[in-house]
A and B are shown apart, each in its own frame.
Chain A
Amino acid sequence: MNREGFTGFSRGEARTRTATSLNFDNQGPLNKLMRLPWGFILLIAAMALTGIAMLYSSAHTNPAEAHLWKLQLVRFVVCFFMMIGLAMLPLSWWMRLAFPAYVGTIVLLILVEVMGVTGGGAQRWLQIGPVAVQPSEFAKLAVTMALARYYQMVLQPQTGRVMVHLGALAIILLPAALIFKQPDFGTTLALVASGGVVIFLAGLSVRVIGTGIIGGIASVWPIYQFVLAPYQRERVDTFLAQLFGGATNALGESYQIEQGKIAIGAGGLNGRGFLQGIQSQQDYVPEQHTDFILTVIAEEFGFLGSTALLVGFAVLLGWSLYSAARSVSWFGRLASAGAVATIGFYIVFNVGMVLGLLPVVGMPLPLISYGGTAMLTTMACFGLIIAAHMHRDEKLTARGLF
């Protein structure tokens, strides 16, 4: 906290600065480019390139997957420039985009429901021309933006009521319901969780939050019993069984978790070295290039490598959250923090699942896992975070919905 203004923006000091040194929009795009948080951006690039190297390691022995790393590299380069572009976008533009993006995502989710492609037992994919996209991935960013936009609109000093937050809840639950129906329990959970974080940060009263937590715990059993599909219930059962050391069928659901744990554990402190993992190189862990890519890192680079990865994520998210806290506009604060929560839950769900702490929910590891839509969403989230950082001192005024 090198800025004294952090403890209180009420003295108008921030606004003074906005008008002078920090208004990049008045100083030309090149200058703005130079002022981007390049350390942050380089860390993102380094982690994504690590992911591509791990992708090469996990798939190069399989002729059908050997080329995937190149594809992922191309995607990353494209997404990287997109992120830079998004980062330069004035925050007011982001705000104007929020509701249209939200509505567009809802439309896409309904289209998935109507004409989506089934993959892996769930209807998640939408074929648009040559590319297949997962609208549920876009939903994470769209909901975050819409929430921030909503609070920017309604959050006034005189409106500290609980009722205000019901609108936010509706914004979350509409896409969540559509995604849950696909069914995609993991994404639904991540969406609701990161949305919940935004509501929490927006100042929902502690009493309501406490009630919500109690209600949430109380609803675990009914959800398991009546809401979950049989295959989802099976996953939860498998998870609980392996968590408590019960009998698991090594070739069924828990095979993936077991083999993943073996790969991670076999890595030891230093790992077996790049391309040297015996589990990773010989196809023992299913989905190793997508959701279970952490097992490759853990096996080939050991505890040091996997911890470094988590620390890298922690640095990215911690800095982002810090930056969000410094933002003067509610849109900037909540959009940035929401993006942090989105990426954070991605990571927690994925790592927790791979480490056997959470059920298998089919969640990619941001920046690292193979997959275009997740890469696009993640990089867009970072773009939003950087944009909020760049315009942290900009006081936004919302007129109408756009």
Chain B
Amino acid sequence: MSKKTADLDFAFTRRTAIAGAAGGLVWAGLIARLFQLQILDQERYQAQAEANHIKLQLAPPQRGRILDRFGRPLASHRRAGRISITPEQTDNPEHTLAQIAALIELPDERLERIANEIRLSRRRNAGFVPVTVAHELTYEDFARMNVHAAEMPGVNVEMALTRSYPRGRDFAHVLGYVARASQDDLVRLTGDMTDKEAETLKTMFRHPDMRTGRQGMERFAEEWLRGKPGYRKLVTNAHGRVIEEIPDERLAPTPGKDLFVTIDSDLQRVAIERFEGESGAAVVMDVESGDVLAMVSTPAFDPNDFVNGISTANYSELRDDTRSPLYPRAHGGVYPPGSTFKMVVATAALEAGAVKPTDRVHCNGYYHFGNRTWHCWKKGGHGSVNLHTGIKGSCDVYFYEIARRTGVDKIAETARKFGFGQDWVLGMTGGRGGLVPDREWKQRVRKENWYEGETLNFGIGQGQLGTTPLQLALMTARIATEGKPFKPRMIGIGPQSQDDHTLDAPLDPEVMKLMKAGMYGVTSEGGGTAYRSGDLGLGGPRLAGKTGTAQVRRITREERLSGVRSGSEIARELRDHALFVAYAPADNPKYAISVVVEHGEGGSRTAAPVARDILHFALKTDSRRKPSYSQSASLPTSMTDAGEPT
């Protein structure tokens, strides 16, 4: 071998060593980098890995229930299967929707609406908020969807809690209903919040399970019922699909509080049934405690229809129904009280000293004042009447006279002492205060002087006077308790309205005794306008009451002359409303009631039997009416499980 070859061999060996060393350096560099990432920066990357796969998802609180005085649920929850799509997790929402539509029935119109909603949410960068595709799934649909959900990215099939009103229509106007929070709702709810609080609330209300009270107690007690949102700790993969949930007590949402109302749901049911399909209202109160036991407005809507959004067609149907199921008659219906107002007029007259109980007025069927003639309901008149017979026979002429003597302002003042002219909230919405007219009102609103002739109409509960059935029940309760301070309430445990006050304006007990005697006469003495309704059918106790008729329109002179007065001869919707107010037992009042039967014509014929039957039931079940919530020492908290409560 030549020297040259040896040099070449040696050069190769040397260069191999150099290459090996260079490789070794590179290797050392790679290991150093691994050391940096895995040892030095370990904590940072571990934190990032955690953050990567653990997502905190806003968990909506469970809304508190609404329970009646016995703890029976009027508003609670029901489990229902639901499908939703998380827009940011699906590549092709139309395709995904088509996949879902192949498995369950979905109308094209609805598919289009959801596709729109998804597009919108993507544009708003809110793709992380699930969009509901279908709710109230049948068991079969739910099972089928559950099996296939894994193949459809972004599709969630879950059991959701839905607000449920087990008593359906019975409490529609009291409870109202919940609905998805609209833009208007959010503006209203966040009105007095800081930006940050408002943002949290808005985020929470985007959750498909969240509802807000739109009407009634659901709205009034929104904050009480709502609770506070928490978070769910979810382990997700890179595609956002939830792998598992890590339970964390500290993050759990605070459920809303249960709300107890004073209503007796059995009594409510009995009362509604007693209307036998007629439209009208009834309010029953416990005169000792002021508890509202029944608050009936019929016909009504089913609040369950509103929870997941009512269709436009169904809503139009409700809105355009001539019997107005959306109209809360008991506290928002304003009626002229008619003759049920006569106790107020009599009280005002006695208090003003304008008349003595024994003073007599002669009624021959009409009353002249100025150059006009006012008629008594009884053709031919009542003859000579005093206070007692005036109330008992509901003599209009007697009340024209004493009203004229008393004057409008005194009657108005007394009316307010009975609770008229005020909107009693009692935890509801949609209530109205009605109107108690007086000189000042006429001057202010109508820019006219008060005509004395109007005082006469006022005296028999007609004219401008407007009252609600709730106010009539209050008036009756004040009479029944002989003027003791009285505070109505319908929320047993829960937020109380700041506007409702105690009716404690003094009423002379002696005067109230005279009113009670008069009302007893109505139902229990010869000549009483509701003589047949006095017996409660319970052996002993009787009821005392007062009939009334609210004119839907004026009786024309022609009709009066031709004798067409009976409503059966005129169109139904023009017939008068029948009213009846009563308390029972007559000798030891426990319950007060007011009943309005719309277009029922005569208080004695239609309203009084309704009132009597409701009171009958109320007294029969009287012994067990103590509310459950006053017996337990500790307040019940909201249920945590979702089943139908006992």
Contact = CB atoms under 8 A, between A and B. Distances in A.
A352 B52 contact: no
- Range of interface residues on chain A? 35 or more
Contact of B238 (A157, A203, A265, A284): A284
B369 interface: no
Interface string B6-34: 11111111011101100110110111011
A348 B53 contact: no
B39 A203 contact: no
B237 interface: yes
Contact of B30 (A281, A333, A352): A352
Interface stretch (A29-37, A87-95, A223-231, A313-321): A313-321
Interface in A153-185: 155, 157-158, 160
A150 interface: no
Interface in B31-53: 31, 33-35, 37-39, 41-42, 44-46, 48-50, 52-53
Nearest to A344: B23
A8 interface: yes
B34 A337 contact: no
Given A266-B48, A268-B38, A201 B238 contact: no
B5 interface: yes
Given A284-B53, A310-B27, A314-B24, A325 B13 contact: yes
B38 A321 contact: no
A10 B44 CA distance: 59
A189 to B, nearest CB: 15
Contacts of A306: 34, 38
A9 B1 contact: yes
Contacts of B17: 325
B34 A264 contact: yes
Nearest to A337: B16
B35 A310 contact: no
A155 to B, nearest CB: 7
Interface string A258-295: 01011111111100000000110111100000000000
Contacts, number: 146
Given A12-B1, A302-B38, A355-B30, A283 B9 contact: no
A277 B52 CA distance: 12
A24 interface: no
A351 interface: yes
A266 B6 contact: no
Contacts of A303: 34-35, 38-39
Contacts of B15: 200-201, 203
A49 to B, nearest CB: 22
B387 to A, nearest CB: 87
A217 B5 CA distance: 34
B16 A324 contact: yes
A200 B18 CA distance: 10
A298 interface: yes
Contacts of A402: none
A266 B238 contact: no
Contacts of A279: 49, 52-53
Contacts of A324: 16
Given A265-B45, A266-B46, A303-B35, A203 B12 contact: yes
Contact of A310 (B11, B34, B37, B42): B34
Contacts of B20: 318, 321-322
Nearest to A8: B6
Contacts of A307: 31, 34
Contacts of A157: 2, 4-5, 7-8
Contact of A10 (B6, B38, B53): B6
Interface in B430-476: none
Contacts of A12: 1
User: Of B16, B17, B33, which is in contact with the most chain A CB atoms at under 10 Å from its CB?
Assistant: B16
A81 interface: no
Contacts of A10: 1, 5-6, 9
B243 interface: yes
Interface residues of B, number: 45
Contact of B42 (A158, A265, A278, A341): A265
Nearest to A15: B1
A265 B33 contact: no
A196 to B, nearest CB: 11
A307 B45 CA distance: 18
B6 A263 contact: no
Nearest to A314: B27
A202 B48 CA distance: 48
B16 A264 contact: no
Among B19, B37, B52, B238, residue most surrounded by chain A Cβ atoms (within 10 Å):
B37
Most chain B beta-carbon neighbours within 10 Å: one of A155, A264, A265, A269: A265
A187 to B, nearest CB: 19
A259 B1 CA distance: 58
B386 interface: no
B8 A282 contact: no
Nearest to B26: A348
Contacts of B237: 61, 281-284
B440 to A, nearest CB: 71
Interface string B281-325: 000000000000000000000000000000000000000000000
A199 to B, nearest CB: 10
A357 interface: yes
B356 interface: no
B239 interface: yes
A355 B37 contact: yes
A61 B237 CA distance: 11
A197 to B, nearest CB: 6
A283 B37 contact: no
B236 interface: yes
Given A201-B15, A306-B38, A314-B27, A278 B49 contact: yes
B24 to A, nearest CB: 7
Contact of A265 (B5, B41, B53, B239): B41
A267 B4 CA distance: 54
A262 B6 contact: no
A26 B379 CA distance: 145
Contacts of A262: 45, 48-49, 52
B48 A351 contact: no
B26 A283 contact: no
A264 B46 CA distance: 9
A278 B53 contact: yes
A265 B46 contact: yes
B30 A8 contact: no
B45 A333 contact: no
A325 B12 contact: yes
Contacts of A197: 19
Contact of A268 (B7, B13, B42): B42
B11 to A, nearest CB: 5
Interface string B37-73: 1110110111011101100000000000000000000
Contact of A298 (B12, B38, B41): B38
Interface in B577-622: none
Interface in A120-171: 155, 157-158, 160
B236 A333 contact: no
A12 B1 CA distance: 8
B49 A266 contact: yes
A355 B34 contact: yes
A38 to B, nearest CB: 23
Interface in A335-356: 337, 341, 344, 348, 351-352, 355-356
A355 B33 contact: yes
A298 B11 CA distance: 39
B19 A155 contact: no
16 contacts: A6-B13, A8-B9, A259-B52, A259-B238, A263-B49, A265-B46, A265-B49, A284-B52, A284-B53, A303-B38, A306-B34, A310-B27, A321-B19, A322-B20, A325-B17, A357-B29
Given A265-B46, A351-B30, A357-B33, 6 more contacts: A265-B42, A266-B49, A279-B49, A303-B35, A303-B39, A355-B30
Q: Which 6 A-B residue pairs are closest in the complex by CB-CB distance?
A: A265-B45, A157-B4, A282-B237, A266-B49, A10-B1, A303-B38
